[in-house]
Amino acid sequence: MKSLHIATLLSLALISLTDAIASGSHTGDHGHDTMIGKPGKAAQVSRTIKIDMNDNMRFTPANLQAKQGETIRFLISNSGKLKHEFVLGTEQELGQHYELMKKHPEMEHSDPNMISLAAGQSGEVLWQFSKAGQIDFACLQAGHYEAGMKGKVQVHTSKAPSTSKAQPHQH
């Protein structure tokens, strides 16, 4: 009986967490500061990258380069007739979020690492890449992720090799 009670409490806690995430009302950094970076500030943007989303279930371009510490303004446009979204995350985070999206397809997003756009709309995501490595992005609308609507940002270390001279910071 006691194990049934504990299982019920755990189930209720999981449902509450799932509902909070699904409703789009969840807050917090979800590890963005440690895993993939943090929301960027407009005053720190070093460059702008335009990305198109389309009904061929592709991002153009889909492979990007960034430097550790760099803040990028992603200008995202949806040239298709379907709703699409751009979500930055680790492959694991994106996969988990996609499973939730399949269960709750009307989930609304308001996190700074993502944007949902109706057909013909455009918007932006400002992001600072604080760690070197690979960061993924994807459209998590039902069926889109599985169809290959994914991309990658390769974030290169900002440290200059010891054999080269450091270049002065340019604005």
- What CATH number corresponds to the domain at position 50? 2.60.40.420
Digit-by-digit pLDDT tens for the chain (171 residues) are: 444 343 333 333 343 333 444 434 333 334 445 478 999 999 999 999 999 999 999 999 999 999 999 999 999 999 999 999 999 999 998 988 888 877 776 776 678 999 999 999 999 999 999 999 999 999 999 899 999 999 999 999 976 544 444 444 444
As for how many domains the chain has, the answer is 1
- C-alpha closest to that of 137 among 83, 64, 70: 64
What are the structure tokens assigned to 29, written together? 């950094």
The model carries a pTM of 0.72
What per-residue confidence (pLDDT) applies to 16? 37
Q: CA separation (Å) from 66 to 10, 47, 102, 107?
A: 41, 10, 31, 30
Q: Are 128 and 44 spatial neighbours (Cβ–Cβ below 8 Å)?
A: yes
Does 147 map to a domain?
yes
Q: For residue 99, give its domain range.
A: 32-156
Distance, in Å, from the CA atom of 108 to the CA atom of 12, rounded to the nearest integer, reads 22
Does 3 map to a domain?
no
Does 18 map to a domain?
no
